[in-house]
Chains A and B, each alone.
Chain A
Amino acid sequence: MSARQSAIIGLGLTPMSTKPGGSAAELAARALRAALDDAGLAHTELDGLLVGSSQGVRPDRVGVTLAAQAGLGDLRLLEHVEIKGATTVAMVRRAQLAIRTGEARTVACVFADAPLRAAGGAGSTYARSGGNSGVRGLERASGVLGSVPTYALLAARWLAVTGGSPDDLGSVALAARAWAQGNPDAVQRTPLDADTYRASPMVSTPLRRLDCARPVNGAAAVVLSPDLPAARHTPVRVIGSGRAHPVRRRRAGDESWFGGGRAAVEDALAEAGLSRGDLDVLELYDPFTIVTLCLLEEYGFCGPGQAGPLARSGALAPGGALPTNTGGGQLSGFYLQGMTPLVEAIVQLRGDGGDRQVTGARTALVGGIGGRIDHHACLVLEAA
């Protein structure tokens, strides 16, 4: 069997809602339909489906039953992939390899999430999940409710070790918001200045509300195929992939909260035959401002302690030398886990970015992380 080259030929999004409405399955089915329409395919032409969901938080998360729910026919590949937030980026690689080996020909990857409920905000949804057993049970019994206090501990440690300041975090929030202003799908587009950032309510020091992504109900899907539709969109190829799953020990002598992800980027770049300087846009997973800073350094886009100065220099923002999270990221765009950076990379490489288009963008790094920056999945994408 000859190895088959595939490309991302379909992209579908639901509206991103900051209000309750729609189950994850309904949203996933809609995104899938939109991606097939975008690719010019009938639903019967799909023979592979990979499903990613938010883990643990909600009982109605999507899984392999989505194939039946979304009206698909017989499939040759169907999996619920689970690597926490790294899932989506990893799914795209799984789809590419399945097509290459002939397991399936036309594969969709879909992610949906519906944390917003009529009763209580998404913050409450997260705060009330996690259970009372094991380490998580002890943490919750110690007031670690939801994910913000955890990332606040990471942020406090990271700022102490690297000599950073809270203004570094603010620079990331401002850059994300500036990009979001050009993205019609972004949920937070109001212009943001440093004073407004500094007046934002503290959630868990040093993280303010504007340091945190705002959850949405929504879904996104992509379709990969070796069959390129004529003149619909620029196909986007996966030319590199890398993964890293550092097992950091919570023990004296090591950093417990960060470090160990660089191999994912090194491997993806090596496969692509590119260096960091060849990348036109960086699309990183940014549930909190601190994560953008942490990943810039961890992935080798700046030297130790230089992520804060880099952000403050304006390099990440529109017009900067290192365009990062060009749709506003998860912070100001929409929080659909790994779909957020993936979708934005596809939009940029198609040249469909409108007001936030990075001129001449041909290559992108997409980074997905899971857990407490425990799992890294990176892709290098190229406009075909």
Chain B
Amino acid sequence: MTETVGVVAEDWLLGAELAPAVDGDPLAPLYSGAADGLLVLPFCPACGLALELEQRVCDGCATTGADWRPVDPRGTVHSVTMVHRLERGLVRARAPYPVADVEMAGGHRLVLTSLEPLPHPPAIGDAVSIGFRRLGDVAVPAFTARTTPHGEREDP
């Protein structure tokens, strides 16, 4: 949920000063993919192992480099918390917000908040899918409860 104030769309959760660095950032390919609506994550160029976001040598086969490519946006909740401390000056939300460690179908794990305010967080093991919030000028991946084409919650 974004609200428009003048021409600036503001994030539901945070102030724009928390927007990530993009230019020259180790996660630049993720953000440029996100700007196009794609979740782009790093893999070993040789053996295809899912790498951590700042990992640059494969722990499986020792190949250097990372191949960033779009992934299946579906995942499950590996862990989740509702943050009740609303840090003044940084958090715009007025109610507790979720943070989840989401395990993607391709094996990566990402710590993300939800796409929209979510009073009832998903449970560990629940199915989620990835969308994108806009924080300042940056598209940031966020999770949303996974629904079927009929709008029903899918079983994990």
Tell whether A123 is near chain B: CB-to-CB under 8 Å: yes
Tell whether B30 is near chain A: CB-to-CB under 8 Å: yes
Tell whether A145 is near chain B: CB-to-CB under 8 Å: yes
**Closest residue to B19 on the A side, CB-wise?**
A141
Pair A201/B84 contact, Cβ less than 8 Å: yes
Which residues of chain A have C-beta atoms less than 8 A from B97's C-beta? 143
**Residues in B77-105 with C-beta less than 8 Å from chain A:** 78-85, 87-88, 90-91, 96-97, 99-101, 103-104
Which residues of chain A have C-beta atoms less than 8 A from B154's C-beta? none
Pick the interface stretch among A38-46, A130-138, A236-244.
A130-138
Pair B140/A204 contact, Cβ less than 8 Å: no
Pair A204/B83 contact, Cβ less than 8 Å: yes
Tell whether B20 is near chain A: CB-to-CB under 8 Å: yes
Which residues of chain B have C-beta atoms less than 8 A from A257's C-beta? 79, 101
Pair A156/B25 contact, Cβ less than 8 Å: no
**Closest residue to A206 on the B side, CB-wise?**
B81
Tell whether A118 is near chain B: CB-to-CB under 8 Å: no
Pair A142/B108 contact, Cβ less than 8 Å: no
**Residues in B16-50 with C-beta less than 8 Å from chain A:** 18-21, 25-27, 30, 49-50
Pair A251/B107 contact, Cβ less than 8 Å: yes
Q: How far is the CA of A202 from the CA of B142 in the complex (A)?
A: 23
**Closest residue to A252 on the B side, CB-wise?**
B107
Pair B87/A153 contact, Cβ less than 8 Å: no
Which residues of chain B have C-beta atoms less than 8 A from A160's C-beta? 79, 124
Pair A143/B14 contact, Cβ less than 8 Å: yes
**Residues in A353-369 with C-beta less than 8 Å from chain B:** none
Pair B84/A203 contact, Cβ less than 8 Å: yes
Which residues of chain A have C-beta atoms less than 8 A from B91's C-beta? 143, 145
Q: How far is the CA of A202 from the CA of B81 in the complex (A)?
A: 11
Tell whether A9 is near chain B: CB-to-CB under 8 Å: no
A contacts with B, residue count (CB < 8 A): 43
Q: How far is the CB of B151 from chain A (nearest CB, A)?
A: 26
**Closest residue to B104 on the A side, CB-wise?**
A252
From known contacts A123-B85, A202-B84, A204-B82, infer whether A145 and B90 are also in contact, taking CB-CB under 8 Å: yes
Partner of B87, one of A139, A145, A155, A202: A145
**Closest residue to A156 on the B side, CB-wise?**
B79
From known contacts A156-B80, A251-B50, infer whether A143 and B13 are also in contact, taking CB-CB under 8 Å: yes
Pair A137/B25 contact, Cβ less than 8 Å: yes
Partner of B101, one of A140, A157, A249: A157
Pair B87/A124 contact, Cβ less than 8 Å: yes
Tell whether B111 is near chain A: CB-to-CB under 8 Å: yes
Pair A134/B25 contact, Cβ less than 8 Å: yes
Partner of B111, one of A144, A148, A202, A203: A144
Pick the interface stretch among B1-9, B51-59, B64-72.
B51-59
Tell whether B135 is near chain A: CB-to-CB under 8 Å: yes
Q: How far is the CA of A381 from the CA of B130 in the complex (A)?
A: 50
Which residues of chain A have C-beta atoms less than 8 A from B90's C-beta? 127-128, 145
Which residues of chain B have C-beta atoms less than 8 A from A256's C-beta? 78, 101, 109
Q: How far is the CA of A206 from the CA of B96 in the complex (A)?
A: 13
Tell whether B144 is near chain A: CB-to-CB under 8 Å: no
Q: How far is the CA of A113 from the CA of B103 in the complex (A)?
A: 36
From known contacts A149-B83, A156-B124, infer whether A251 and B52 are also in contact, taking CB-CB under 8 Å: yes
Partner of A143, one of B79, B99, B101, B109: B99
Contact surface of B with A, Cβ cutoff 8 Å: 13-14, 18-21, 25-27, 30, 49-50, 52-54, 59, 78-85, 87-88, 90-91, 96-97, 99-101, 103-104, 107-113, 124, 135, 138, 140, 142
Besides the contacts A135-B52, A141-B18, what 11 more A-B pairs have beta carbons closer than 8 Å? A134-B53, A135-B27, A141-B135, A142-B113, A149-B81, A149-B99, A156-B80, A157-B79, A251-B109, A252-B50, A256-B78
